[in-house]
Amino acid sequence: MSLLTFLAHQWHSFWRARNANKSLVLQIILGIFYLLIFLEIAGIGILLPYLLEERMPGKDPVLLFSSYIIYYFLTGLLFRFQLQELPSLSIQPYLTQNIKRSSMLRFLNVRSVVHVINILPLFVFIPFSVVVILPAYGTVATVCFLVSMFALVVNNHFLNMYIKRRSISSSWWFFAIIIIIAILKGFDYFKIISFEKTSANLFIGLLHHPWLCIIPLALATVIFLINNNYLRSHLYIEELVSERKLTISKKYSFLDKYGDVGEMIALDLKLIFRNKRPKSLIILSGVILLYGFIFYPKYLQTGNYTVLFLFALFITGLFISNYGQFLFAWQSSHFDGMMSYNINMKQYIKAKFSLFVTVCSLQFLIASFYGFMGWRILPIQLAAFLYSIGVNSFVTIYAATYNYKYLNLSKSASMNFQGIGALQWLQSLLISFGPVGVFYLLNKFVGFWAAIICISALGITGLALNEVIINWLVGQFNIRKHKILEGFRER
Amino acid sequence: MISIKKLQKSYKGITAVDIDVLEIHAGEVIGLVGNNGAGKTTFFRLLLDLIRANSGEILSKGNLVTTTEEWKSYTAAYIDEGFLIDYLTPEEYFYFVGKLNQLSKADVDDFLHTYQAFFDDAILKKGKYIRDFSKGNQFKIGIIAALLTNPELLILDEPFANLDPTTQLRLVDMIKKMAADNRMCIIVSSHDINHVSEVSSRILLMEKGKIIKDIAGGEAAYDEMVEYFKVK
């Protein structure tokens, strides 16, 4: 069986996936989105020398560029740990067929290389080299430079694959690399040993002596061979996937006193912490909390409260839109069960709402420490918080009743558009820019406090009416219940 | 217990279920048989209000299953893995289902203790999530969770298909015992005409969505099914 047949199967599996987005409009939008990303990155490659010139005038852009290459590849490795997955399971159906091991290996290797993270850097390196290096150092040097860069990308790629295959968890490696980068940066910062200079010397040297590109090539070949040999001797499904740890039953006893609603919140919490995709969303919601450090000071200074309010909405309410857009879809693999257990639908919806309120309150409390940056942050965040739980939570639950797409929980969330339809895009625009628009107008034409009070009042009204709204949502849910169930059964 | 009138469900013009009148009484053990595509699973899903019928109605204890929720409190079902919450451990899952039916942890533990033999030491305290169990063991978990709530109406879709021979025989005994002791209404579908004729007090044979035979269980039913299913 040739490599091409394998790749053709992969191509089919991508496009024929049951829940691949069949909507043409969305595919076009996504297509444009990807194209823009690629163009932007290529643009960075072309504009990089000018940007460098502008920031640090009078310095050779090639020198500057070269001095960061080591750091680039180290941080690249970090991203790889998070973004890249082992493509092992795709060979499962072939293991029992009459196919030579070597061709399966070749497939695994080639398949793994096809990844955004390997392709994107080329969009920086190639334009940069053509614009800057080619005129200064000539064709041979440029080609050799590009070959080296590519070899280093491949080297990083297989190093990551190898580490992931060898170790149960790559998180130790992740932190080890962070520490290495910190140490190198530290040496640089305190001018003990300059790794930036080392990096520059290495790669400028490479440009002067193009034949040196055999070193990165050799490195890439060695790591490829190590990886290949390891795979050859471990071509068994149970050895290809990382090992499973022993799990312990957990009980959130503090939720006991809330009866069935508490029980369902506990279920949602377990869902979040035991599955890859929701877990990464939670981590994201945590990271967003740090955004305040980056954005608050700037806009506090300029007194741009509308932008502050937008960030406050993200910081206090991102969990709602992130988790809420798949509110029911998270449970799509066992939704048949959820609908036939002895669960009252009103309590079910109420549990979802309570989860939103709980997590958002937590985010709000933590974010209140930003009050130290300036007191105005507190009323802004309070208004954003009240609006999030009093209005956005219900809007999100309503929108979720229109989501009929099955969701696979074990795939990671980054660049994963499974289950996302046009409605989700619309919803995320609506729940963030709706209130921001109101805030902007009131703040501009009436005053800061009018905006705060109005937004808060909207939120409080929603909270006060929660019984009524939840009853209505149950009705809405029941109208589309069978459609949701049918959609979730299509995997 | 269940009464069905003019129930129809079709997919793209192809009839999946078409039942004119059907009454199912408490204490009956119904064996639902029929080849693939006869509409058994669709019928079960209709009973549980998981799909919407094109027309007709299903009454459970006199209430429509589509507009009321009371039936959930006395009905338990296991159709496929879609009923299992796969990121829970079996114990957590049992406690969850128990809690929803007002059973304490101790109640659930007691119950599990009496079914130890059924589990054959392969399920409890294994430190695994349900998703990491084999298909057969997942099936056992699903069946036990359905029994746990001591329902008045129990629905099992092909329970014998995924079980090992020992467990199949155990399940046959369990179903017989439950029906005799509790006057539980049990509906099982199966391709195993041997087991199904043994446990059932009444056999419904489906073909292309219609119930074409409605006969009493036992040896005679077995012979009739052999006659129907044999290759012509």
HEC assignment per residue over B139-158: HHHHHHHHHHCCCCEEEEEC
Return left, alpha or beta for A303; rule: phi > 0 is left, psi -120 to 50 is alpha, else beta: left
Residue A456: its pLDDT value, please? 92
Contact across the interface for B100 and A260, Cβ inside 8 Å: yes
B198 close to A (CB below 8 A): no
**Which residues have CB under 8 Å from B43's CB, separation 6+?**
B17, B19, B32, B206
For residue B112, which residues of chain A lie inside 8 Å, CB to CB? none
Residue A287 has pLDDT above 60, yes or no: yes
pLDDT, tens digit (0-9, with 9 covering 90-100), for A181-239: 888 888 887 777 788 888 888 888 888 888 888 888 999 999 999 888 888 877 766 66
Residue A88: its pLDDT value, please? 62
Residue B190 has pLDDT above 60, yes or no: yes
Confidence of residue A127 (pLDDT cuts 50, 70, 90): confident
Contact B163/B174 with Cβ under 8 angstroms? Answer: no
pLDDT, tens digit (0-9, with 9 covering 90-100), for A256-269: 777 778 888 888 88
Nearest Cα residue in chain A from B92: A249
Name which of A49-63, A143-157, B96-110, B125-139 the model is least confident about.
Answer: A49-63
Kindly state the average pLDDT of the residues B187-191.
90
Residue A329 has pLDDT above 60, yes or no: yes
- For an interface test with B, which of A252, A279, A334 has the most B Cβ atoms less than 10 Å from its Cβ? A334
Q: How close B173 gets to chain A, by Cα (Å)? A: 25
Using CA atoms, how far apart are residues A452 and A463, in angstroms rounded to an integer? 17
Residue A169 has pLDDT above 60, yes or no: no
A247 close to B (CB below 8 A): yes
Name which of A62-66, A99-103, B9-13, B189-193 the model is least confident about.
Answer: A99-103
Residue A243 has pLDDT above 60, yes or no: no
Using CA atoms, how far apart are residues A203 and A199, in angstroms rounded to an integer? 6
Question: In whole numbers, what is the pLDDT of chain A averaged over residues?
Answer: 81
Residue A326 has pLDDT above 70, yes or no: yes
Residue A416 has pLDDT above 60, yes or no: no
Using CA atoms, how far apart are residues A409 and A483, in angstroms rounded to an integer? 21
For residue B87, which residues of chain A lie inside 8 Å, CB to CB? 270-271, 274-275, 409
A249 close to B (CB below 8 A): yes
ipTM value of the model? 0.80
Residue A429 has pLDDT above 80, yes or no: no
Which residue would you say has higher pLDDT here, B87 or A414?
A: B87
Percent of chain A with pLDDT over 90: 9
Contact A443/A461 with Cβ under 8 angstroms? Answer: no
pLDDT, tens digit (0-9, with 9 covering 90-100), for A215-231: 889 999 999 998 888 88
Q: Which of A337, A348, A481 is nearest to B155 (CA)?
A: A337
A256 close to B (CB below 8 A): no
The Cα angle at residue A349 between residues A346 and A354, in degrees rounded to 5: 115
Kindly state the average pLDDT of the residues A269-282.
82
Residue A264: its pLDDT value, please? 85
Residue A170: its pLDDT value, please? 57
Residue A459: its pLDDT value, please? 92
Residue A245 has pLDDT above 60, yes or no: no
Give the best-scoring range by mean pLDDT among A280-284, A382-386, B146-150.
A382-386
Longest dimension (CA), chain B: 55
Which residue would you say has higher pLDDT here, A134 or A256?
A: A134
A343 close to B (CB below 8 A): yes
Residue A273 has pLDDT above 90, yes or no: no
Walk me through the domains of chain B, giving residue ranges and CATH numbers. 1-74+151-232 (3.40.50.300), 81-146 (no CATH)
Domain boundaries, chain A: 3-240, 253-489
**Which residues have CB under 8 Å from B105's CB, separation 6+?**
B95, B98
For residue A248, which residues of chain B lie inside 8 Å, CB to CB? 89, 127
